Structure 1
Amino acid sequence: MVIKKKHFKTLFVTLILTGTLLGIIAANPVQAKYTGHFTTPTEVRGNWYQYEGHHKWEHLKITRHAVSINGKVLYTPRRNGVHQLYITKYKKGYGGVNYTFNHHIKYHYQSLGSFWLSQRKIHGKRVLENYYNMSWFSVYTRNKSTHDYSYQYKGNYLKKIGR
């Protein structure tokens, strides 16, 4: 009888500890960190593709300290002026959190626009969205797809930025 009580107590304690650990892990999901002005956020890093038609894709590559399009490096922290990587995080005034890669611009055409990891999913994976101008949103996927998911939003497009 004493042995059964011992086993019951160890089983009970083990279950409580396991439940507590699982609760802690589930309550603290991994968040993308904003680590400063010269390092890209982890959530937007990687290889991203946008279909341009005729079996051609625009390849956006975002690494820790560089942003390149189709193999041409656009922004790094070592460059100066409009080609210096300087991340700015925007939280307020839009629909959600978004980033710009170059804050040191004099004219709007020198920027790639705002980028964010959208809640929208294509083939089960979240997509990178970009807003540049005139309520036009570009959509980048992790894999090459022969469909352009970019769209134009009619209405209050500022609330769509960052969502």
Structure 2
Amino acid sequence: MKKMRLFILALVVIFGVQLTALPAQAHASSATTPKALRGTWFEYRGSGKFNVIKITPHRVSYNGRSYTPSKKADRKLQVNKWGSWYLFNKSKSPSKDLGQYKTTKKLINGSYKKVLVKYHGIGTYHVFPSHKYEHRYSYKVLD
């Protein structure tokens, strides 16, 4: 019986040491937007109208709604990184979540232009060029 207790105690000590030695996975949250995403971005809605996203170091504005670190509740800006995507206001509620963003290049009018891509929903990608083009570049992967 003593040997069994000693064996269990040794296992507990070994597992305890291993658990403390493992690096903790940190999901850093910040209120500073990445430089690559900053600027004013436009998505054509049709009939001469545009969705506008303006990103500054500490503010994200989407169609006039502003999100900053000093705001409260769902308008308080939080920035998380997930792979190559940045999440603004990650939330379990889809209405409060601003979606995932990254920049890439897209062929527009015969040359590659830098665009902001917003992923929000299943298979829906909204493409925001940095200039107003009266053409919709957004797409869906799953229909």
Could you say whether these structures have the same fold, taking a TM-score greater than 0.5 normalized by the shorter chain as the test? yes
C-alpha distance 52-67 of structure 1, shift in aligned 2 (>3 A)? same
The 2-side partners of 1:107 and 1:154 are apart by 22
Q: Give the TM-score normalised by the residue count of structure 2.
A: 0.73
Q: 2:87: which partner in 1? A: 100
- Identity between Structure 1 and Structure 2 (%): 34
State how far apart, in whole Å, the 2-side matches of 1:144 and 1:121 are: 15
The residue number in structure 2 matching 1:86 is 78
Partner of 1:118: 104
Determine if the alignment matches structure 1 residue 141 to structure 2 residue 129: yes
* Aligned residue type for 1:61: K
Q: Tell me, what secondary structure is at the counterpart of 2:136?
A: coil
1:118 is aligned with what amino acid?
A: T
Match of 1:38 among 27, 31, 40: 31
> 1:65 pairs with 54, 58, 67, which one?
58
Structure 1: state its 5+ residue gaps. 1-34, 92-96, 156-163
Structure 1 residues 98 and 53, CA, compared in 2 at 3 Å: closer, same or farther? same
Question: One-letter code of the match for 2:86?
Answer: Y
Q: How many residues are treated as equivalent by the alignment? A: 114
Alpha-carbon distance between aligned partners in 2 of 1:70 and 1:109, rounded to the nearest angstrom: 15
Q: Is the Cα–Cα contact under 8 Å of residues 121 and 127 in structure 1 kept in the other structure?
A: no
Aligned-residue offset at 1:124: 2.8
TM superposition shift of 1:36: 6.2
SS of equivalent residue, structure 1 residue 107:
coil
Residues 2-35 of structure 1, C-alpha deviations (whole Å, 9 max, x = no match): xxxxxxxxxxxxxxxxxxxxxxxxxxxxxxxxx9
CA distance in 2: counterparts of 1:69 and 1:61, whole angstroms: 7
CA distance, structure 2, for counterparts of residue 108 and residue 59 of structure 1: 19
**Whole-Å separation in 1 of the counterparts to 2:107 and 2:58:** 26
Q: Which amino acid aligns with 2:114?
A: R
| Normalised TM-score (structure 1) | 0.64
8 Å contact 2:105–2:112 — kept in the other structure?
Answer: no
Indicate if the aligned counterparts of 1:82 and 1:102 stay in contact, CA closer than 8 A: yes
Question: In 2 relative to 1, CA 36–109 (structure 1 residues): closer, same or farther, beyond 3 Å?
Answer: closer
Query: What is aligned with 1:52?
Result: 45
